[in-house]
Structure 1
Amino acid sequence: MILRRLTTALRKQDWFTVVIETLIVVFGVFIALQVNNWNAGRLERVDTQNVLERLERDFELQLSLTNRSIGQQVLLLEATSRLITSIHTGEFDEQTLFEDVAFVDTISTLPGPSAAFQELVATGRLHLIRNEDLRDKLYEYDSSIMFGREIFGGSFTAPVDELARVLFRAKKLVASGIPSETFSQVGAVESVDRAVILEDPEVLAALQNAYLIQDNYHLILVRCRNQIEAILELLRQERERAS
């Protein structure tokens, strides 16, 4: 309709009409572009909020798991220390002996990567996070966790595996023939050969090596917790700015 009027005006050399019709077209295109930009901006803001909420949920879960692992590492260090002290003094803490022997050859779980962050990277949508410091910390956490998990499955845990091997000689496990109902029942100790612990030099060496690993691992977990807490604080600030 507008094009037909504009063509007619050009034939008649009605320049006033040409200008008015042209302005109408330009203004209409401008309004359409503004509406499209507004819609795109609104959708991006919604997408950003969803991304930030997913990241926050991810890291709140990892913080909970990390705190639990740190608590477990403290208990592991205490148990290992009690057994080392018992070998040096020749006296066992009978109240905790069975639990200590069943427990010391384990290690806590390292927190996992953020699935939401890895999805952002994979889909090329990391630009939704405008805070450069937050992006850097997300990359740093992801890299350190992937590296930690790589060494966690290799030589890093070898001393703990060695402790499990040598300490097994002193254990008599509960073998009732009834399947365990909880994970705490798996590997439960029925009795301990104290002479093996006291007299086998491999046991003391394995305990001390495992203690070093457990202590280092505790520091790694604390560092992970600090990283997660810093990320969560930045995520909360970013959500406030994006809302």
Structure 2
Amino acid sequence: MILRRLTLHFREQNWFAVVLDLLIVVLGVFLGFQVTLWQGALAEREREGMLLERLGEDLLALQQVNERVAGQRDAMNAQFDRTIEFIRDPGSLEASPEAWREMISPVLGYPDPVTEFAIYDEIKSTAGFSLLSDDELRHELSGFGQWLDNSKLALGVSGDSYGSAWERIYRHLVTAQEFPDLVAAMSLEQRATLMADVQMMRTLAFFASSKAADIGLRAGELIALLPEAAQPHQPAEPD
């Protein structure tokens, strides 16, 4: 329709009408382009909003589970103290297999911090950082994700030491259960070696709980950077 009118006006040499038709065409193209940009920006903001909500939920879960792990630190330290004192006491050589099991079993493991952060891995693999309009949040999230990856590596290295100490302590526990006479005949050197392994477990447990506390703290700091609409709902504390 516009093209037909434009051709007609051109033949009639109605230059004012020609210019007017061209302006209408240009304005229509411009408005169409602007509407497309506006719709694209609106779709991006909607995707950002959904991404921020999921980010808030994952951060809250990461914070809460690691705070629970870190909260067991005092109880673990107390148990390690009791176990070390038990082994150091010469009277433990005459203790029953049940007493050894009661003292040794609790130090054979400790809760690990949670380092899985699925939404960050998704954002990183799908170039989702470009959706985040807040420069500070984008920078802090990237730094937290890299620090979390490094924490996984550090925990993996400590896990190698954990495996060796665990095996030796467990072997002693089995010996105490099956061959109590061998326990009664333990030398000072053997007791010192066992205490060293338990102390190693204590050090690793302290490292793990400290790392859990750091993860919980940093996750909380990131939550504080989220816009109000994306703040995760935290259940009320029981009365």
Quick check: TM above 0.5?
Answer: yes
> How many angstroms apart in 1 are the aligned matches of 2:91 and 2:80?
14
Which residue of structure 1 lines up, in the alignment, with residue 26 of structure 2?
Answer: 26
TM-superposed deviation, 1:192 = 10
Q: Does residue 233 of the first structure (1) align with residue 233 of the second (2)?
A: no
User: Structure 1 residues 190 and 87, CA, compared in 2 at 3 Å: closer, same or farther?
Assistant: closer
Structure 1 residue runs of 4+, over 6 Å off? 94-97, 189-192
Rounded Cα–Cα distance in structure 1 between residues aligned with 2:69 and 2:179: 27
1:63 aligns with 2:63: yes
Query: Structure 2: where are the runs of 5+ without partners?
Result: 232-239
Unaligned ranges ≥5, structure 1: 174-188
| Whole-angstrom CA distance in 1 between matches of 2:145 and 2:11 | 68
> Which structure dedicates a bigger proportion of its chain to helix?
2
Distance in 2 between residues matched to 1:77 and 1:158, nearest whole Å: 21
Contact kept in structure 2, 1:107 and 1:160, CA below 8 Å: no
Tell me by how many angstroms 1:2 deviates.
0.3
Letter in 1 for 2:85: T
After superposition, residues 92-111 of structure 1 pair within 5 angstroms as 98-111=101-114
Deviations 1:200-222 (A, max 9, x none): 22111111222222222222221
Instruction: Give the corresponding residue for 2:118.
Output: 115
User: Contact 2:108 / 2:166 at 8 angstroms: preserved in 1?
Assistant: yes
Q: Shift in Å at residue 72 of structure 1?
A: 3.8
Alignment of 1:1-243 (within 5 A): 1-90=1-90, 98-154=101-157, 156-172=158-174, 195=184, 200-237=191-228, 239=230
Closer, same or farther: CA 97–64 of 1 in aligned 2, 3 Å: farther
Q: Is the 8 A contact 1:98 1:191 kept in 2?
A: no
| CA gap 1:19/1:99 in 2 versus in 1, 3 angstroms | farther
- SS, match of residue 9 in structure 2: helix
Q: CA distance change for structure 1 residues 40 and 99 in 2, over 3 Å: closer, same or farther?
A: farther
Larger mean CA deviation between 138-147 and 97-106 belongs to 97-106
In the aligned structure 1, how far is the partner of 2:156 from the partner of 2:25? 66
Q: Which has the higher contact order (CA 8 A, sep 6+)?
A: 2
Distance 2:101 2:71 in 1: 20
The structural deviation recorded for 1:171 is 2.3
RMSD, aligned CA: 3.1
Counterparts of 2:143 and 2:69 in 1: how far apart (Å)?
21
Q: How many residues align?
A: 224
- Say whether the 8 Å CA contact 2:155–2:208 is kept in structure 1: no
CA distance in 1, matches of 2:187, 2:19: 99
Contact 1:105–1:161 at 8 Å: present in 2 too? Answer: no
CA displacement, residues 36-58 of structure 1 (integer Å, 9 cap, x when unaligned): 12211211110000110111121
| Percent of aligned pairs sharing the same letter | 24
Shift, 1:197, TM fit: 10
